Amino acid sequence: MKRTWWKEAVVYQVYWRSFFDSNGDGYGDLEGLIQKLDYIHDLGVDVIWLNPCYESPDKDNGYDISDYYRIMDKAGDMETFDRLLHEVHQRGMKLIMDLVVNHTSDQHPWFIESRSSKDNPKRDWYIWRDKPNNWRSYFTPSAWEYDEKTGQYYFHSFAVEQPDLNWENKEVREEIYKMMRFWLDKGIDGFRLDAIALLAKPDGFPDAENPYDIRYLTNNPGVHEYLQEMHDKVLKHYDIFTVGEVAFVSPEEGLKYVGEDRNELHTLFHFEVCDEMPTWDPIRFKQIQKRWYEGLWGKGWNSQFLNNHDHTRQVTRYGNDKQFRVESAKLLATLVHTLPGTPYIYQGEEIGMTGVKFDSIDDYNDIAMKNKYAEEVAKGRDPKEVLESLQLLSRDNSRTPMQWDDSEHAGFTTGTPWLKVNPNYKEINVKQALADPNSVYYYYKKLIQLRKQNPVMVYGTFCDLSENEPYIYAYTRELDGVRWLIVLNHCDSDNVYTLPEELSSASHHLLLGNYTDVKEEGTTLHMRPHEARIYALQ
């Protein structure tokens, strides 16, 4: 298998508006990130993924871009960005930027021109039709919005304020490639490509048999030709890392995006776990991991993550954030960092931050949640019930401000935070984590160091030893005669795991565990609640 720097990397995602506010306006900013770079560097990560900081009206927290060549005022300015890039590189880390090219803001000059008249030269830069079909968007009941001035509907896969670009138009593609070169020539180290599976649209936009199953928005014919052209004209000319956000994709389809012989992207985020497994389902999770390993191994590269800015914090959603928060957070970290693929850390995950349950819809910012709430209440449903049904998967669970210390607003800002801070910040914060040698933070450091020192964690083959076990997840990684065993008790109670016969004669040496008092055992391992162990086998 070809070895590359990006396969060996650990990525830390910075949702900058919630990371650290340097000027007291209530929003995190790039200067705040610069001030906290040593914290990220000390964790041991290699790559920072920065969420969109381009000029934007901020209807969808920066994913509605109105100028690809400017930094939004909330984040800072281009001088600050250039300094950030320099400081990241000075510390031996790399920086990749979120890139949104499926759609723009409706305030982008391109769209302002496009909607000005039917015969404007940029009319065809977006998708206009006389009549809408029955498709829904991710955020609204219809993917079409009527424009009174020209009497046509424009298409939007997300919010009304986010019209989709027409990728069939060569001028659009060339303008996007020009913009990508601008950032790469600045020296950034790659892109996370947002909603990249949506670029190609079905011919004729036929009505969907079930409009609520929005798979029709993704993976349509033509998307791979666009990505191959992007690779040929831009990506292959730089030593960079690319990861695509690819929804509703199977391993077979996913390989088309990341196959090493395909010349498209390096790796992808699939969402069989985060989008399609609302709560922990151990058997299904194991099946997903096995299918993706068998589909990609030796041919393409996967990503490992259980939360990000769009998905509830992993310890709340897939662990136990109350009775066993610390143990559970460490177990989930072990899972992500020892399964095949590139591990991602979402800011705050490394101190075990949890999700939230605000009392009122007014305390939430998530546009998808607020639109769904309004839609359901309009149908006559009880507002309290609707709120409770939406809380677990609200995107604001992961967007509450970073908890730096136990001072007001968790040390995130001296002003009023743009989103309420999680009330548990006095117990869960960076200051506390750095003072406790057994904290979640230091466990992450040890995991990352293990990965740097042991290629088996990166390039080792994978074998699941516990496919039908409801609580124990046990698997091996093996490379060049080195074999590791990972055993996880993903459960609130004790469990016993007996090594399979093929491993019973091997001696096992504990490399890392999330309990401090693990004793060497024979072939029967007594696992405590949410216990995780990594063994070297000999």
pLDDT (tens digit, 9 = 90+) per residue, 49-73?
A: 999 999 999 999 999 999 999 999 9
The helix-helix angle for 325-338 and 440-453 (nearest 10°) equals: 20
The DSSP code for 74 is T
Q: Is the pLDDT of residue 242 over 80?
A: yes
Is 379 inside any structural domain? no
CB burial class (10 A; 0-12, 13-18, 19+) of residue 103?
buried
- Compute the average pLDDT of residues 124-144: 97
What pLDDT score was predicted for residue 186? 98
pLDDT at 464 over 90: yes
pLDDT above 90: residue 171: yes
| HEC profile of 196-210 | HHHCCCCCCCCCCCC
As a dihedral over the C-alpha atoms of residue 173, residue 169, residue 127, residue 253, rounded to 10 degrees, the angle is: -60
Summarize pLDDT for 179-231 with one digit per residue, the tens. 999 999 999 999 999 999 999 999 999 999 999 999 999 999 999 999 999 99
pLDDT at 520 over 80: no
- Residue 449's φ and ψ, nearest 5 degrees, are -65, -40
Does residue 194 carry a catalytic annotation?
yes
Task: State the pLDDT confidence band at 305, using cuts at 50, 70 and 90.
Answer: very high
Which regions of 347-460 does DSSP assign to beta strands (E)?
A: none
- Residue 1's pLDDT is 82
pLDDT digits (tens, 9 = 90+) for 25-51: 999 999 999 999 999 999 999 999 999
pLDDT at 85: 98
Q: Are residues 279 and 305 in the same domain?
A: yes
d(CA 68, CA 180): 9
Write the pLDDT tens digit of every residue in 252-299.
999 999 999 999 999 999 999 999 999 999 999 999 999 999 999 999
> How confident is the model at residue 502, as a pLDDT?
87
Question: Domain holding 123: CATH number?
Answer: 3.90.400.10
The total of structural domains in the chain comes to 3
257-260's contacts with Cβ under 8 Å and 24+ in sequence apart are 257/196, 257/197, 257/224, 257/227, 257/300, 258/296, 258/300, 258/301, 258/302, 259/299, 259/300, 260/2, 260/299, 260/300, 260/301
pLDDT at 519: 80
DSSP state of 427: T
Q: How far is CA 129 from the centre of its chain?
A: 33
3-state secondary structure (DSSP) of residue 377: helix
pLDDT in tens, 494-516: 999 999 988 888 888 999 999 99
Q: Identify the active-site residue in 106, 245, 253, 350.
A: 245
- The CATH number for 284's domain is 3.20.20.80
Catalytic residue flag (residue 31):
no
Instruction: Determine the pLDDT at residue 504.
Output: 82
Q: Is residue 387 part of a domain?
A: no
**Do 241 and 311 fall within a single domain?**
yes
- Cα(338)–Cα(370) distance, integer angstroms: 37
Instruction: Tell me, yes or no, whether 437 and 313 share the same domain.
Output: yes
Q: Is 525 helix (H, G, I), strand (E, B) or coil?
A: strand
Indicate if 40 and 137 belong to the same structural domain: no
Q: What is the pLDDT of residue 340?
A: 98
Q: Both 466 and 329 in a single domain?
A: no
pLDDT at 143: 98
- Tell me: do 95 and 193 sit in the same domain: yes
CA distance 445 to 123: 52
Rounded percentage of the chain residues whose pLDDT exceeds 90? 96
Confidence (pTM) = 0.96
Residue 383 counted as domain residue: no
Taking only the tens place, the pLDDT of each residue in 359-417 is 999 999 998 999 999 999 999 999 999 999 999 899 999 999 999 999 999 999 999 99
Burial class of residue 365 in the structure, from the number of CB atoms within 10 Å of its CB (0-12 exposed, 13-18 middle, 19+ buried)? middle
Looking at the fold, whether 126 and 60 belong to one and the same domain comes out as: no
Task: Tell me, yes or no, whether 470 and 329 share the same domain.
Answer: no
pLDDT (0 to 100) of residue 521: 76
Residue 276 lies in a domain: yes
* CA dihedral sign, ordered 180, 186, 188, 194: negative
Domain match, 338 and 432 both: yes
In a 10 Å sphere around its CB, with 0-12 CB exposed, 13-18 middle and 19+ buried, how is residue 432 labelled?
middle
Classify the phi-psi angles of 190: left when phi > 0, otherwise alpha if psi is within -120 to 50, otherwise beta: left
Measured CA to CA in angstroms, residue 108 lies from 55, 181, 222, 453 at distances of: 9, 20, 25, 47
If asked whether residues 136 and 269 sit together in one domain, one would say no
The upper half-sphere exposure of residue 339, i.e. CA atoms within 13 Å in the direction of its Cβ, equals 27
Longest dimension (CA), the chain: 77
Does residue 234 lie in a domain region? yes
Same domain, 146 and 283: no
Q: Is the pLDDT of residue 177 over 90?
A: yes
Give pLDDT, residue 494.
Answer: 97
Q: Which of 536, 326, 298, 358 is nearest to 436 (CA)?
A: 326
Instruction: State residue 83's pLDDT score.
Output: 98
Phi, psi of 192 (to 5 degrees): -100, 115
Spatial separation of the C-alpha atoms in residues 465 and 475, rounded to whole Å? 5
Show which of 378, 412, 447 is a domain's final residue: 447
What per-residue confidence (pLDDT) applies to 141? 95
Say which of 46, 98, 189, 194 is annotated catalytic.
194
At CA 130, angle to CA 199 and CA 115, rounded to 5? 65
- Same structural domain for residues 61 and 180? yes
How confident is the model over 468-496, as pLDDT tens digits? 899 999 999 999 999 999 999 999 999 99
Average pLDDT, rounded, for the chain: 97
Question: Which range has the worst mean pLDDT, 122-131, 250-259, 436-445, 512-521?
Answer: 512-521
Hey, is 346 helix, strand or coil? Answer: strand
**pLDDT > 70 in the chain, percent:** 100
For residue 201, is it within any domain?
Answer: yes
Query: Which residue segment(s) compose the domain that 285 sits in?
Result: 5-102+168-354+422-447
Query: What does the alpha-carbon distance between residue 193 and residue 180 come to, in Å, rounded to a whole number?
Result: 11
Q: Note whether 452 and 44 are within 8 A (CB).
A: yes
Residue 117 falls inside a structural domain: yes
Classify 145 as helix, strand or coil. Answer: strand
- Residue among 249, 151, 166 at smallest CA distance from 200: 166
**CA 346/CA 341 separation, integer angstroms:** 16
Which CATH number fits the domain that encloses residue 477?
Answer: 2.60.40.1180
- Predicted pLDDT of residue 505: 82
Closest to 409 (Cα-Cα) out of 6, 51, 13, 24: 24
Residue 71 CB contacts under 8 Å (≥ 6 apart), including other chains: 30, 53, 54, 55, 77, 78, 80, 81
118 lies in some domain: yes
